[in-house]
Amino acid sequence: MRTELVLDALEHAICSRDERLDGLICHSDAGSQCVAIRYTERLAEIGAAPSIGSVGDPIDHAVAESTIGHYKTELINPQRPWHTPYDVEFAMFENVDWFNNRRLHGEISHRPPAEHEALFYTQQPAPTPGHNSAIRTLH
């Protein structure tokens, strides 16, 4: 995987997070693109901290495999054949948008994850100047 691809994904995530970036922790694996200087510099620019999982960590691997399995089962295989890489890329963006913004999640009162997160932040006390009252996570 190229560093540019990971940087593009980070920029997309930044745009979708509005102004909730202070104290952000960005989880990734120990792949070369996630420890690249350009990637870590970009995290520093937005005030985010990298959190790199340990090499061979079974928990990280299970989450990654589950996510990849979701895409293969729910998106890639049913819509074959794909004609261009851009078709796959566009479908992935649509799927991520659905997954975060419209999918009803049973563990969070049948609300979409983005709605649940927004509700969480409305229930938090206002942060005091110079103090980060909540650590936020970007997956």
- Residue-wise pLDDT tens digits, 35-77: 678 888 888 888 887 776 555 555 666 776 788 888 888 888 9
31 versus 98: the higher-pLDDT residue is: 98
**Tokens standing for residue 83:** 């004609």
- C-beta neighbour count of 125 within 10 angstroms: 7
- Determine the residue type at 83: H
Q: Which of 44-48, 97-101, 113-117, 132-136 has the lowest mean pLDDT?
A: 132-136
- Tell me, yes or no, if the pTM score tops 0.75: no
**pLDDT above 90 coverage of the chain, percent:** 19
Residues of the domain holding 52 = 3-126+134-138
Rounded Cα distance between 106 and 112, Å, is 9
Question: How many domains are contained in the chain?
Answer: 1
Residue 91 is inside which H or E element, if any? Answer: helix 85-101
Of 65, 77, 1, nearest to 36 by C-alpha is 1
Whether 28 contacts 34, CB under 8 Å: yes
Interaxial angle between packed helices 3-16 and 37-45, expressed in degrees from 0 to 180 and rounded to the nearest 10: 10
CB burial of residue 18 (10 Å; 0-12, 13-18, 19+) = exposed
Domain of 59, CATH number, reads 3.30.420.10
Rounded Cα distance between 68 and 85, Å, is 17
Residue with tokens 């409305």: 122
**Residue 81: cis peptide before it, omega within 30 degrees of 0:** yes
